Structure 1
Amino acid sequence: MVHTLHRLSACLIGSFITIHLFNHLLALGSIDAHISFMTYFRQFYRIPVIEALLLSGILFQVGSGLRLIKNRWGERRGFYARLQAISGGYLAFFLINHIAAVLFGRTLHGLDTNFYFAAAGLHISPFQLFFVPYYYLAVLAIFAHVACALHWLSRERLTLEKRNRLGFLIIAIGALLSLFITLAMAGVFYPVEIPTQYADFYGNSPETATGP
């Protein structure tokens, strides 16, 4: 029962994450494109009922996922079975921390949790040491988790060799997209200057929060 609800909840959250990742990919072009799409998208997901539904779904997903990892770890055999648990565990860690940070910044500090809020940690020393792998692994974990799910769901339709190839392809795409998103946030493709209010969130002056 928990496994079935976990999969249903994943479909709801997955739809939101897909649009959210597309939003981050727009940052490859410009910050304005990223923020413009986010502003439009917020009209829908920040409707109180929808936002409450999303938050509830995420909390259930994290709780049920950790329960499944704990109860079934001893039964897992093979690369994909273990990767599913590891990627799911990291996603649980990331989602709880990310949501808490967004709600904290939004409600207690009155910040617009946009591109600059997410990117600030990549521009302020020594927080880059945490946030670069933190964001990179988050996107990679999403694709790895999807690859594992498809590997299992396609077991009756594809040969093991084809399932393995499909899984590695999805993971490779995730690794590449995650790299591009992280580099955009880090200011590699164009200069990123972090506004004062976001630098202050980390206790830094704006002079120390300027991208390359």
Structure 2
Amino acid sequence: MMRFFIFLSLAGLVACSPTEDPVTAGRAHYLAAGCAACHRVDGRGGRVGPDLSLVGFRRSASWLDLWLKNPKGWKHDTEMPGFALDAKTREAVVAYLASLKNWSGAADGEAIYKKAGCIACHGIRGQGGHPNNNVKGGVIPALDTVVGTYTREELVVKIRRGVTVQADDPSGSSPEVNMPAWGEILSEADLEAVAAYLETIAIETPEEEEW
């Protein structure tokens, strides 16, 4: 069934004008490939994979390109299928995803955590484990140590400023995944709400896939 779905998705990729804006072309490819069946953007789409409303803010274009080239090469147990996009189509989809940076708000800390796509790195309930290159252990750590390690104020500062991950091997490539400075788009009330939510989460078996 999955192979049949992928075939239909790839067959439905649209032909775009050479002069068409890459973001517009990328959105057309995104929709034609059925990405919205699993991912939400601005409140529309599925909930199988992470919300992509802010994926352009939290992920670099280089990482997006690596991911689309070979999802399982980056995360072997992902449910994300490989679409075998040609270079031009992939470039357009990356341009579209990289443009998704507009924050429209959410009701509370948990909703912000999910809509901002924090689950893509930190997991549904903060269990971590998402791969990152050239970091200790090879994965993003769990959040179960935040309570007792940081005060509420320190958590807010950390989320506001973001984190540039240090390479485990200084002679190697820089880690692709860093935490952005969320203070650039989230309000102080949003930051406070997320910090409060992080203090409540428990590490448990996820009910959804973190891609």
TM-score by length of 2: 0.28
Greater helix share, structure number: 1
TM-score by length of 1: 0.28
Asked which structure has the greater CA Rg, the reply is 1
